[in-house]
Structure 1
Amino acid sequence: MIAANNSPLSIQTPKPVDANTNASSLTYQQIKDRYQAAGQGHLLNFYDDLPESEKAELLSQLQSLNVERANRIHQKATTCPSPMLSNQSVLLGPLPEECFESTLEASSEKMHEWQTIGLNQIAQNKVGVILLAGGQGTRLGSTAPKGCYDINLPSSKSLFQIQAERILRLQELASKQEGAKAKVVIPWYVMTSGPTRTATVKYFEEHNYFGLESGNIVFFEQGTLPCMTFDGKIMMESKSQIAVAPDGNGGVYAALRTTGVLANMAERKVEYLHVYCVDNCLVHVADPVFIGYCVQKNADCGAKVVRKKSPDEPVGVVCLRNSAFNVVEYSEIDEEVAHRINPKNGQLSFGAGNIANHFYTVDFLNKVESFEGELEYHIARKKIKTLDMQTGEIITPKQVNGMKLEMFVFDVFPFTQRMAVFEVDRREEFSPLKNAPGSGQDCPETSRRDILQQHVRFIEDAGGKVVVGEEDQQIEGAPTLEISSLVTYSGEGLSEIVAGKSIKTPIVISSLEDLKKAVF
């Protein structure tokens, strides 16, 4: 039971000067001079037309914006040559063997060794989780944050609830390790965006934090960057508001620092972080096998990957680019390189598909600030509703008219000293939710199917048999068998109950008692 006064830690992004202060630390003239010197003086074109409250609001926003940094980011993003020059086969290199392991090839002994190391770290409260949850469910036809989405499981659990219950189960498993802390805690750092912040916090509150202690859930917000025209002018959404957009999932690094999350980790003595995106329904949250592998490798940065289905699969690849670790987009790899085979194992030389699932040491995260100015920024060309700076009218464009600048979470890879790459089984760990219902790929139906099929494998791998009942209305060929993560994290603990026995669908297993009653 969660104590009534155990409120979640909700770290706030530093606020700009309050509008009522009239941006007093800098005068209007100082701000005007600064922006004119930066080539962005147009942002004050309509200042004299505004009521006093909106004047203060605009000055506050201008004061809080680092306009010189915004200019530098635009300059770098639009003028730096692409790292992918003409001779791709020279610039790209396959992953070094010493930094790569695969669960598809590893022995059960090795898997157990990694898992034990990882569980020991969790048991000592050294592991935290960062959830990248800034996305909205717009493409899914939802106005709610994507983590709130119900993929139509029999239990109606959302992505947030599925992941929360995996943390609960893993804390229970780790507490049984020798030398475990009296109370095992995996702190959950939930990064939202401005549009999803309020709705996300409210959703957790309404669902009592899914059984987790609210004080161990830390909400923080990613940063924003101004939207810009192609010639580098900052855009406005109204006469008193700059047009801004989230700075991409790579904004997590600056946000960890500026919102105080890194300080929170230091206070908790967290040493290792698992970072993942909310839309993967199969994610092994705080995966002890992955944590254990990276710790054994003494890695400061790690990436989970899946084996590409084919050379032409449109997925980014973790590999070497200019002798540094990176993720190279499929469109940047020419056909010959994409089809190249490693003669030692018969697999694609460039087949480590990126799934935005990473490991970091806290020490590495603290070092990001030292090379932040060297990170790449990526351009997203968009139709952006904007203010006509001549007429003052709001324009809804019919064609692309500006850019949003963002970083990706993997942009830090070139700066790692000790990288670890870990290949996992796609069926068990990767099913992203990207597309609208009925689209047939990476959609709610495939997410539901992949979870239910996994739970069938859990029973079968434990020595049981799944009998599909006549009343089971299967979707995508998946028997309706759902097992709560509170019962099992990845199939463990089932064999003593189901071995040599059968279970009939449709059924939802919410507890071990449910499972014991269901087998025959």
Structure 2
Amino acid sequence: MELKQLFESHGQGQVFRFWDELDETQQANLSSQASEIDLDELENLVATLVKGGGGHDEEDFSTLKPAPYISIPENLDTDPEWKEAKELGEAALKAGKVAAFTVAGGQGTRLGYDGPKGTFPVTPIKSKSLFQVFAEKIQAARVRYSCALPWFVMTSDINHTATVAFFEENAYFGLAEGSVTFFRQGRMPAVDLDGKIILEDKGSIAMSPDGHGGALRALDRSGSFQAMVDAGIEVLSYFQVDNPLVQPVDPYFIGFHLKSGSTLSSKMLPKAYEKEKLGHFCVQDGINKVVEYSDMPDELCALRDPDGQLSFRAGSIAIHVISVDFARSLVAPGSSVSLPFHRADKKIPFVDENGNVQKADTPNGVKFEMFVFDAIPFAKTSIVIETTRLADFSPVKNAEGIDSPESCKADQIKLFKQWFEAAGIELPEGYDLPIEVSPLFATDKQSFLESWSAKPVELDFSKPIYLG
């Protein structure tokens, strides 16, 4: 068998040691998994990150400085710089140069939910799923800017079929079927501490997603990059699936990206407290980068400016605008630059020499993953702009407490109440029933004012208020 011989030549023949005990289906599965693996790439990762101890060296933070960012003004409507950016962004949208890109490979396990995270219900009254919220926001942008605005959704091997079926069952939430593209995230094999590929059972390799940084490789391998080029798409609006307040396309953000000549732009939030679990936008030796919250020294997390603000306050919230040409350059064959892999030590179930599945009590293996923010140092120009939590960030990550469905619903209601106030809609004192505004009615304060002015509604304050 040619594939088996190839693995043996790379010192990974143990992958097929139970081959003769497998039935045809199991053999087909193992062969399929093995065919995904780039053995030359894996050999290099084992040499550098496993046997070389990569990822465990002390990083030098002595020259690290806070990254500059474009501050959000008190009034977006009157600030000339932000007005200019908005006009540029709107022009790009109207010209069909923008696509939305959602990273949606996760399951709802941490939420106690059995299914793709994008199918999880999040809105206060209608319990719309994350995918429906994004679909309605994208539909609203298509109408507002008279554009096609294609939507690319990266799934994973574990949730691809269920995700596509969910869209089909819901008629793509009113979007044209061909305007939504699904593709799978890449996977990497886990290896033991000697660099040998781990079998999770006799006929299956321990495979795991290659991290959100693998999104760029997946876009290329799936043919999505070429589809974008053919459609005249120049800019990708990147966001993660767990954040219903995100603006899938923000004309201000896109405009700043274009006017600055940036190839990878990012949104930031001022960190709420020192140890908030957000990466830090930094500059080191003149190069922009993100330092993960878990890697940042305590003394730098606590460092403050004379006015009392955190010095390293620019928190990364995984919202980016990426130029398509730049993204393609990172995955082009023979490219001189590429995103690095990181090592993650994990407890990985494995098959012993007798074919029995064992659970590890301590980390026994290494998984490899890439982070999309590692592309920032390669960008010729990279900018960071400020946003607000209610405008862009209330993720659903935990079953309860911070970043939970409950906290997210509260943030949505708070945002909708701000829109009501801006429109002069007075809620009765002590009104505490839920409020929900469909993205098809409004996606921000300005569109809410326009929709309300064009079609005011008689509100019944004795029950929850839904505007759709």
Q: Taking structure 2 as the reference length, what is the TM-score of the superposition?
A: 0.91
Contact 2:330 2:337 (8 Å CA) reproduced = no
The separation in 1 between residues aligned to 2:324 and 2:195, in whole angstroms, is: 35
The separation in 2 between residues aligned to 1:455 and 1:372, in whole angstroms, is: 47
Aligned to 2:77: 108
In structure 2, list runs of 5 or more residues that go unmatched: none
Three-state SS of the structure 1 residue aligned to 2:158 is: helix
The reply to whether residue 445 of structure 1 matches residue 427 of structure 2 is no
Aligned to 1:416: 379
The separation in 2 between residues aligned to 1:83 and 1:48, in whole angstroms, is: 39
Contact 1:250 1:406 (8 Å CA) reproduced = yes
Q: 2:420 aligns with which of 433, 437, 459?
A: 459
After superposition, give the CA deviation of every residue in 1:236-259 in whole Å (9 maximum; x if it has no partner).
123232221111111101101111
Give the superposition deviation at 1:171.
Answer: 1.6
The reply to whether residue 483 of structure 1 matches residue 426 of structure 2 is no
The reply to whether residue 34 of structure 1 matches residue 3 of structure 2 is no
Aligned to 2:311: 349
Q: 2:167 aligns with which of 190, 200, 204?
A: 204
Aligned to 1:143: 114
The separation in 1 between residues aligned to 2:256 and 2:76, in whole angstroms, is: 13
Give the superposition deviation at 1:60.
Answer: 4.8
The separation in 2 between residues aligned to 1:80 and 1:396, in whole angstroms, is: 24
Of 488-497 and 263-272, deviating more is: 488-497
The reply to whether residue 362 of structure 1 matches residue 308 of structure 2 is no
Residues 131 and 490 (structure 1), Cα distance of their counterparts in 2 relative to 1, 3 Å cut: same
Aligned to 2:190: 227
User: Which amino acid counterpart does residue 74 of structure 1 have in structure 2?
Assistant: V
The separation in 2 between residues aligned to 1:120 and 1:194, in whole angstroms, is: 37
The separation in 2 between residues aligned to 1:198 and 1:268, in whole angstroms, is: 26
Residues 444 and 396 (structure 1), Cα distance of their counterparts in 2 relative to 1, 3 Å cut: same
User: Which amino acid counterpart does residue 384 of structure 2 have in structure 1?
Assistant: V
The separation in 2 between residues aligned to 1:446 and 1:351, in whole angstroms, is: 22
Residues 349 and 234 (structure 1), Cα distance of their counterparts in 2 relative to 1, 3 Å cut: same
Contact 2:66 2:314 (8 Å CA) reproduced = no
The reply to whether residue 43 of structure 1 matches residue 15 of structure 2 is yes
Trace 1:255-270 onto structure 2 (pairs within 5 A). 255-270=218-233
Of 407-416 and 258-267, deviating more is: 407-416
User: Which amino acid counterpart does residue 143 of structure 1 have in structure 2?
Assistant: D
Three-state SS of the structure 1 residue aligned to 2:42 is: helix
Of 323-332 and 50-59, deviating more is: 50-59
After superposition, give the CA deviation of every residue in 1:460-497 in whole Å (9 maximum; x if it has no partner).
1223222257xx6x4xxxx4111111111102244464
The separation in 2 between residues aligned to 1:57 and 1:341, in whole angstroms, is: 54
Give the superposition deviation at 1:161.
Answer: 0.7
Contact 2:390 2:412 (8 Å CA) reproduced = no
Aligned to 1:88: 61
Contact 2:186 2:218 (8 Å CA) reproduced = yes
The separation in 2 between residues aligned to 1:420 and 1:199, in whole angstroms, is: 37
Residues 372 and 342 (structure 1), Cα distance of their counterparts in 2 relative to 1, 3 Å cut: farther
Contact 2:337 2:378 (8 Å CA) reproduced = no
User: Which amino acid counterpart does residue 421 of structure 1 have in structure 2?
Assistant: V
After superposition, give the CA deviation of every residue in 1:31-64 in whole Å (9 maximum; x if it has no partner).
4443233221211222233345644554454344
The reply to whether residue 155 of structure 1 matches residue 118 of structure 2 is no
Three-state SS of the structure 2 residue aligned to 1:101 is: coil
Root mean square deviation, CA, Å: 2.5
Total equivalences in the alignment:
460
Contact 2:123 2:436 (8 Å CA) reproduced = no
Q: 1:129 aligns with which of 100, 106, 111?
A: 100
The separation in 2 between residues aligned to 1:141 and 1:428, in whole angstroms, is: 27
In structure 1, list runs of 5 or more residues that go unmatched: 1-27, 176-183, 512-520
Contact 1:104 1:423 (8 Å CA) reproduced = no
Contact 1:127 1:273 (8 Å CA) reproduced = yes
Contact 1:300 1:416 (8 Å CA) reproduced = yes
After superposition, give the CA deviation of every residue in 1:244-290 in whole Å (9 maximum; x if it has no partner).
11111111011011110001101111011100001011101111111
Three-state SS of the structure 2 residue aligned to 1:292 is: helix
Aligned to 2:350: 386
Q: In percent, how many aligned pairs have the same letter? A: 35
The separation in 1 between residues aligned to 2:337 and 2:43, in whole angstroms, is: 13
Give the superposition deviation at 1:408.
Answer: 1.3
Aligned to 1:510: 467
The separation in 2 between residues aligned to 1:428 and 1:44, in whole angstroms, is: 52
Residues 323 and 440 (structure 1), Cα distance of their counterparts in 2 relative to 1, 3 Å cut: same
After superposition, give the CA deviation of every residue in 1:334-371 in whole Å (9 maximum; x if it has no partner).
2332233445x764331110101111011111111255
